Amino acid sequence: MTFKALIAAATLIAAGTGSAQAGIVDEVRVGVLQHNICLIDCDNADKEDGPDISAEVVFASPDFLSWALEPRFYLGTTYNTAGETSFYGGGVQWSFDITDRLSFEPGIGYVFHDGYNENPYVQGTPEATAFGEEHVLMGSDDLFRTSFALTWDFTDKWAGQLLYEHFSHGQILGDGRNQGMDNFGLRIAYTFD
């Protein structure tokens, strides 16, 4: 499924919820992330270069989900400028106020990538060793995306955001190889009203 098809599907889903505000673009975000950072397990953090461009469209929460703490649907991409692994997909995220200007935003999503799942060379060969030293092997074409963000509102319309995202199949969407990836960076957000 292409990114355009994902956008079309999400728009149709949001438009069909029966809410007056569902399907409306609530916010757009763009920023720069460090690709494949070392967070906890650093075995693969020296593989692949960056930076990444992060872009996201966030939709208004449909009224019928008010019971679930008003999650907002999003579509987005983490595009790697060095030609390494890029991600695209969508999911849901919530926003919880810490202060009048600062909020915490956890999210979960489902994404696809254009990187590698397995080493194409025979295990134990010099080619396989060299390939494995340079590439993160995701193990599945589709992955979960877990994200955490801190958002600081500059004005009613503009905000800055620290974003952490983790990609992995978690042995649920695939089995075997699951090196995963962590990215971290800054984004600017613009809210429509």
Q: Left if phi > 0, otherwise alpha if psi is -120 to 50, otherwise beta: which for 4?
A: alpha
- 104-122: burial string, b at 16+ Cβ within 10 Å, e else: ebebebebbbebbbebeee
- Residues 90 and 117: their CA atoms lie apart, in Å, by 20
What is the per-residue pLDDT across 126-181, written as a single tens digit (0 to 9) for each? 999 999 889 999 989 999 999 999 999 999 999 999 999 999 988 777 666 788 89
Q: According to the model, what pLDDT value does residue 170 have?
A: 81
What is the per-residue pLDDT across 71-93, written as a single tens digit (0 to 9) for each? 999 999 999 999 999 999 999 99
Q: According to the model, what pLDDT value does residue 121 have?
A: 93
- Secondary structure E strands in the chain: 25-34, 52-59, 72-80, 87-93, 96-97, 102-113, 142-153, 158-168, 181-191
Say yes or no to pLDDT of 23 above 90: no
**What token pair was written down for 12?**
């149709």
What is the per-residue pLDDT across 52-76, written as a single tens digit (0 to 9) for each? 999 999 999 999 999 999 999 999 9
| Whole-structure pTM value | 0.84
To the nearest whole number, what is the mean pLDDT of the chain? 87
